[in-house]
Structure 1
């Protein structure tokens, strides 16, 4: 007579192992997203494995990298592609149009040739036209009054036509007359200052 008890014990052991692995194997299934226009998305599984097989998930216009497809779906994301999400560079080509604006970033104001250039440098547009020079918070030297007669800062070209300029007895060479005027200097003569 064959040993039925041993056969049944082995069969029962295999059945128990198979049944205990079934939930784990069910969580490991990989499904592909039906894409846009498909039917309703499949219901996400209740538990995900710790498997690392990164996917890029997409929900509306938002993209996010997840460790695996199960994690992405459990958070309501469709699978865009395998691997990590790649950020698309924000390439912005600005025109050379001259429509000056005043931009501000971190309390600092700067004049830009157009709004596109200001935004691409991370500045917020605060006014159309060139920035007006704001009076300094205190005089240049103690006991000396502020100078309200100073002209507002202008946008200067990069032209190199050196000039010698003077302010308060101090001489300094500037790349051009516009730059000298922006720093509050008066042009004395063309060319570099002699020492």
Structure 2
């Protein structure tokens, strides 16, 4: 082995040691300058229609979801069971109200206006206060025996009606009204 080969072998050893030393001394400088890449969108998630409301939070925003799966699918963390409690009281005017389509007429008043609604929920949702059961009375409407006959359903929701001193049970408030009676109570007369 000649002098040249010994020198070449030492250079190789020094090169390998230098490479190993540099490889062990790498430094992470952080992300590259410029905008960060957006995370990949979450795959769509199939959630049940089960209604067990939960309160979810994302950042500072709280929202009520029908169930935990739906909250997580929308990127929210579940923070409690039931609806979220508002940080400040809600104004009832802004909340939509769901009413049934039951026909149980009431007379409602808002200011100087009176109006007949199919049920108390519909009156309250319209901003009216219920002032009586049955349709509203008006002076321009024909009374009993008038020219406009009443068209009533055959629904059985008995009411007690009064006209003068006479008290009578009717199958429903429409039939009592059609005979000129004022509804004084729900159910048969006692």
TM-score normalised by length of structure 2: 0.32
TM-score normalised by length of structure 1: 0.31
